[in-house]
Structure 1
Amino acid sequence: MSTVADKLAKKSTRKTSAKQVRLRLVYIDFWSAVKLSFLAAVALAIVTIVSYLLVYVVVRTTGVIHSIDELFQSISDGGVSIETYIGFPQVMAFAAVVAILNLIVVTVLGAVVAGIYNLAVKITGGLLVGFTSN
């Protein structure tokens, strides 16, 4: 004699079949890849500038720059001071230049990778991706 609770328990223990869809990626839109790589490059540029700032603050606070400056002045008879060349404005200007160059390189690299993938799809047929619904 099965009760309603037994019937419901049997229904709930039954596995539901997950539907699987297999799709093939055969094209990457060039402008979408450029826009996405530009956004990634902007994030990388921000991280670069902040990391240069943090490294400069730590090195300046610990006195490493001053120690190196004293060593360099003792070697060069006090003629040139490194602290005039390694100041906050110089470090941030260098960080900005590096960030802008990274921005250009990463954006172009994203476009090149999208173009190469679109050419390789003609030979390989694309990337097969599977999706399931759980």
Structure 2
Amino acid sequence: MSSVAEKLQRKSQKPAATKQVRLKLVYVDFWSALKFSFLVSISLGIILVVATIFIWVVLASTSVFSSIDSIMQQILSDNTYSVSQSVSLPQVALFAIVVALLNTVIGTALGAIASLLYNFSVKLTGGLLVGFTNQ
């Protein structure tokens, strides 16, 4: 009598048939690329705003701004200038939001332009050949 382990060992010695599929990417839908690039740009914009606010909070809580203020007062011997007043949280947050909005517009436009350029280049190159295997 053979055990279950021996049967499994015999089965595993058979070579597994691997299937290969080759696909050619010859068209990228413009609206799909536009929507995808918009969503990616919005996500990166949110990350930018949150990270900027987080970095400002960390710098403010570790009193980096007051250290910079004291160094600037020693160098300039001017007591009226303050970095902490010039770089306040509302100013930093507003700047980050404006940059995120600009990045969203530019990122969406670049995604749309990239899809158009790919669709035009497919006529010359024939497309992108992608291979998949089943393992």
Superposition TM-score, scaled by structure 2 size: 0.85
- Counterparts of residues 50-129 of structure 1 (less than 5 Å): 50-74=50-74, 75=76, 77-129=78-130
Q: Which moved more, 1:68-77 or 1:58-67?
A: 68-77
Closer, same or farther: CA 8–101 of 1 in aligned 2, 3 Å = closer
Distance 2:12 2:85 in 1: 75
In structure 1, the partner of 2:38 is: 38
Q: Which moved more, 1:122-131 or 1:8-17?
A: 8-17
Which deviations, in whole Å up to 9, do the C-alpha atoms of 1:87-131 show, x marking residues without a partner? 111111111111111111111111111111111111110000112
2:47 is aligned with 1:47 = yes
In structure 1, the partner of 2:132 is: 131
Closer, same or farther: CA 64–7 of 1 in aligned 2, 3 Å = closer
Q: In the TM superposition, what is the alpha-carbon distance from 1:48 to its structure 2 partner?
A: 0.3
Amino acid of the structure 2 residue aligned with 1:108: A
Closer, same or farther: CA 7–63 of 1 in aligned 2, 3 Å = closer
Distance 2:90 2:79 in 1: 23
- Segments of 5+ residues of structure 1 without an aligned counterpart are none
Distance 1:61 1:21 in 2: 56
Distance 1:83 1:10 in 2: 74
What is the RMSD of the two structures over their aligned residues, measured on CA atoms? 2.4
Secondary structure class of the residue paired with 2:117: helix
Secondary structure class of the residue paired with 1:40: helix
Q: Report the identity percentage.
A: 47
Q: In the TM superposition, what is the alpha-carbon distance from 1:59 to its structure 2 partner?
A: 1.1
